[in-house]
Amino acid sequence: MKQDAHILIVDDDEDILVAGKLLLKRKFEKVSICNRPEQLPNLLTDNEYDVILLDMNFGPGESSGEQGFYWLQQILTRKPEAIVIMITAHGGIDVAVEAIKQGATDFIAKPWHNEKVIATVTTACELKRTRNEAQQLKATNQALVQAVQDSSTNDSIIGNSAAMQEVYSIISKAAPTDANVLILGENGTGKELVAKEIHKQSKRSEQVFLSVDLGALTETLFESELFGHTKGAFTGAQQDRVGKIKAADGGTLFLDEIGNLPLHLQAKLLTVLAQREVTPVGSNKAIPFNVRIVAATNIDKSVLSDELKFRQDLLFRLNTVEVQLPPLSARTEDIQPIAQYYISLYCKKYQKNEMALSPGALAAIIDYQWPGNIRALRHAVERAVILAQSDTLTEYDFQLAPLQPKVNSSADANRQDFTLPKQLNLDDIEKQAISQALKKHGYNISHSAKELGLTRAALYRRMEKHGL
């Protein structure tokens, strides 16, 4: 059975090229030849080779090996991980040994013995495979470390309302399976917490959980972030990178804001999920993966069901099981325990005495509609804890602004005028612009960020800054 490997032979002797190709084709899947070393830069850009056999001398009368040294360095400059076997005459053993010192893996002496050539190339292929696995493991570990660093919360789901009991029931039934799950709900309802709980209760709980915010990815970064890329695949690709799909191999991948993905990128994602293989940008080799997909969106199900806005074949693949998260206004009995949880959290964070809610404060936060849901409640609690003058939080500490009437149409939205504050303080202007954009778009972070010319991450930072 042939090894799945691509071998390149570089020599100006046609007899060597033909003999070498006939010999190696018996053992390896693909053997390419090159009689002009100046073609190497283009060949290395367009192809991936497991092993390169490189002659030490090119042209009649050449015996110094200088050409071999030159092209060896050209190869290693472009592909530092390349496995290069030097081809030399018997009298050039010392030169070949020097080539090994400069980065070659091994050498073959002319005239060669077929068994020796096969054994040397086979060993080199095994070395290449080992290096690839080590590099992939290193890149995967880097991705996992980054994922841990990016994880901003260890919160658990809070709430015992009837609406949440139904959510818990679906989680308990779906989690132990490998079924893909689609989580629907408004911004701030805790979709990522549900995804983490599904992973926690699954058979993959000992494996990695990775999250990707598709709403924050530009189209140009989509493939690199999810599929990975090879060194030199595009400007700025300084090294190989494992994509999030492969980095989550064996575990769970959470695709947040799936509804914001353009149709042409939906098609690419569907192909990868259907084939269970991913091809990094710049590579022509598909890599299998074993990942459970949990996706989420704040877009209404009726919009997702529109073929012009979302691919139905992708929707069917994602929502084997569907979880509908209720807004906070539909589970008011959960508001008090959620608020108490964050009060304790922020009292510890800001080194304050434990605080309690006054009856007026409790009534105020229960009556409030919370268009930003739990996220908005959390921000309000944090601000209240910071500004409170006593150990009892009052309704005045929460500074709950009256909600503006919902915009009924884009035309109405366009008629809303932005009024500058009396004091032209840039921070005040920024806060008012962000507040108005959030209200205009019903606290949809993606749409608000787009109108403000910000990324989602940048908008979140400014919301934290202004206590919105």
What confidence score (pLDDT) does residue 136 get?
72
**Token duo for residue 227:** 């599929």
Range name among 38-52, 293-307, 394-408 with the lowest pLDDT average: 394-408
What confidence score (pLDDT) does residue 409 get?
40
Range name among 31-35, 69-73, 216-220, 246-250 with the lowest pLDDT average: 216-220
Q: Are 176 and 202 in contact (CB under 8 A)?
A: yes
What confidence score (pLDDT) does residue 99 get?
86
217 has a pLDDT exceeding 90: no
What confidence score (pLDDT) does residue 413 get?
42
What confidence score (pLDDT) does residue 441 get?
77
Domain 404-468 CATH assignment equals 1.10.10: yes
Residue 112: burial class (beta carbons within 10 Å; 0-12, 13-18, 19+): middle
What confidence score (pLDDT) does residue 50 get?
93
What confidence score (pLDDT) does residue 226 get?
92
Which is more confident, 196 or 460? 196
Q: Are 254 and 213 in contact (CB under 8 A)?
A: no
Q: pLDDT (tens digit, 9 = 90+) per residue, 59-105?
A: 776 777 888 899 999 999 998 889 999 988 755 678 878 888 899 99
Residue 341 to residue 354: CA distance in whole angstroms: 11
162-326 and 329-402 agree in CATH topology: no
What confidence score (pLDDT) does residue 364 get?
93
Which is more confident, 23 or 443? 23
Residue 403 to residue 443: CA distance in whole angstroms: 12
> Structurally, what CATH architecture does the domain formed by 162-326 represent?
3-Layer(aba) Sandwich (3.40)
Nearest CA to 211 out of 265, 148, 162 is that of 148
Range name among 182-186, 220-224, 369-373 with the lowest pLDDT average: 220-224
The percentage of the chain sitting over the pLDDT mark of 90, rounded to a whole number, equals: 55
Question: Is the N-terminal amide bond of 111 cis, ω within 30° of 0?
Answer: yes
**pTM of full prediction above 0.85:** no
Res. 145 pLDDT band, cuts 50 70 90 = low
Q: Which CATH number fits domain 329-402: 1.10.1050.10, 1.20.910.10, 3.20.20.10, 1.10.8.60?
A: 1.10.8.60
DSSP letter assigned to residue 84 = E
Q: pLDDT (tens digit, 9 = 90+) per residue, 90-144?
A: 556 788 788 888 999 998 888 888 999 999 999 999 998 888 877 776 666 566 6
Domain boundaries, the chain: 3-129, 162-326, 329-402, 404-468
Residue 336 to residue 377: CA distance in whole angstroms: 10
> β-strands 252-256, 209-213: how paired?
parallel
What confidence score (pLDDT) does residue 94 get?
80
296 has a pLDDT exceeding 80: yes
DSSP letter assigned to residue 268 = H
Q: Mean pLDDT in the chain?
A: 86
Q: pLDDT (tens digit, 9 = 90+) per residue, 383-437?
A: 999 999 999 999 999 988 665 544 444 434 444 455 656 666 777 788 888 888 8
What confidence score (pLDDT) does residue 149 get?
47
- Superfamily of chain region 3-129: Response regulator (3.40.50.2300)
How much is the average pLDDT of 255-268?
A: 92
Residue 464 to residue 468: CA distance in whole angstroms: 6
Residue 235 to residue 203: CA distance in whole angstroms: 40
Q: pLDDT (tens digit, 9 = 90+) per residue, 169-215?
A: 999 999 999 999 999 999 999 999 999 999 999 999 989 999 999 98
